[in-house]
A = this chain, B = another copy of it.
Amino acid sequence: MKRAERGFDVVKAGHIEFLVTDLAEARKFYAETLGFVVTESDRTHVYLRGLEDRHHHCLMLTKSDTPGVGHFAFRVTDESELRAVEKMVKGRGWYSRWVDPGEESGQGRALMVEDGFGFPVEFYARMAPEEWLLQKYQDYRGAKVMRLDHFNIMLPDVASAYDWYVGGLGFGCTEITETEGRRPDLWAAWLRRKHTCHDIALTTGKGPRVHHAGFTVSDRASIMDAADLLAASRYLKSMERGPGRHGVSNAFFLYLRDPDGNRIELYTGDYISADPDWVPIRWKLNDPRRQTFWGAPTPKSWFNEAMMVRSPRNGEFRKILAPKIRDRPDYLLSVR
C-alpha cells in the first residue's frame, strides 16, 4: 500500500510510557544515573528526553501498582493525518479513541489504538519543543543518552504484525530472521520509517509483551562508561546482558533492567537505511552470531522475561498467549 492509499506518513518511533511502582527510584535510575534529562515532572509522572531531542519527551514514567508498558507511540508528519490513521484502524475493527492535546503533557491531539495483536499504540504529530542539549556538553551525565531509537515487541504471530506494519503503515524492512528448513517461518523482522536500522522490531514469543525500548548513545565508549558506572553504583544487577555486539542491526548494546524490571537497551553503531531498494538482510534463527556477534551466551531472563502491556480499553494488563512456533534458537531450547 502506497502513501496515497494510506494518506499519512509515520515519521519515527516517538515515545514510550513505562509503568513504575516507585517514581523516585525510577527517576534516580533514569535521570540521575543514566543521564536522561527531566523536562517535566509531577506527582504521578516524570517526562524525560535525550540530549539530542528537541521535543518534550521520548520516555514517560507513570506511577503504577504494577510495572509494564502503558503505551508506545509513533509520530506522524501532521496532525491532519490522524483521521487517516483512524480510518485504517477502524477498517480493521480495532479499538481506538482520541487523546486530547495536553492529556499527555507536551503532546498535541493523538489517537490511541489497541491493535489486533494486543498492543497499546499511540499516533501523534505534535510535541512541545524543548531546548536542544546536544552541544551542552557540560550537562552530559551517565550514559549520555541521545534519543529513543526503537521498540522491540514480542508476540505469537510475527507474520500478521509484519503485514500491518509494512503493508498498512508503510514501514520498510531492513533485516529478518527466519527459521531453518525448506519452508522457513518469519521469526522476527526489523522495520523502519526513519533512516536507521529500525523503529520497531517484531519478535516471536509469548505476547503481547514489549521486550525493550532501545535508546541511542553516541559511541561504544559511552556504553562501557555506563557499564562501569552502573557496576560501581548500586545498579550492578541492573545489567542484564552485554556490552556486546548484535549480528542483527550490527549494534553495540547493553541491556538494562530498571528498578521495576522494565527493560531498556543502550544502543549504538547501526547504519543508514535510506536506499529505496534495500534488500532485507536475512538471518537464520540458529546462527549463533545473529544474537551475539561475539558468541557470548544470552542470559535466560532475556528470552523469558518481557514487559506486560496495559489495554487502553480498560486499563487492565493483556493476557499472554503462547507463540505458534518456537520462541528461541535450538541451542537455547533448554534455557527456560
Contact = CB atoms under 8 A, between A and B. Distances in A.
A27 to B, nearest CB: 16
Nearest to A299: B297
A135 B231 CA distance: 9
Given A52-B271, A275-B54, A236 B289 contact: yes
Contact of A137 (B75, B126, B225, B278): B225
Interface string A276-295: 11110100000011000111
A138 interface: yes
A102 interface: no
A168 interface: no
A233 interface: yes
Interface string A125-141: 01001001011111010
Interface in A183-236: 193-196, 216, 218-221, 224-225, 227-233, 236
Contact of A275 (B75, B134, B140): B75
Contacts of A52: 271-272
A299 B296 CA distance: 9
A56 interface: no
Contact of A136 (B33, B232, B289): B232
Interface of A: 11-12, 33, 52, 54-55, 75, 77-78, 126, 129, 132, 134-138, 140, 146-147, 193-196, 216, 218-221, 224-225, 227-233, 236-237, 239, 243, 245, 247, 250, 252, 269, 271-272, 274-279, 281, 288-289, 293-297, 299
Given A227-B294, A237-B295, A274 B11 contact: yes
Contacts of A219: 218-221
Contact of A293 (B126, B129, B228): B228
B295 A231 contact: yes
A55 B275 contact: yes
B295 A236 contact: yes
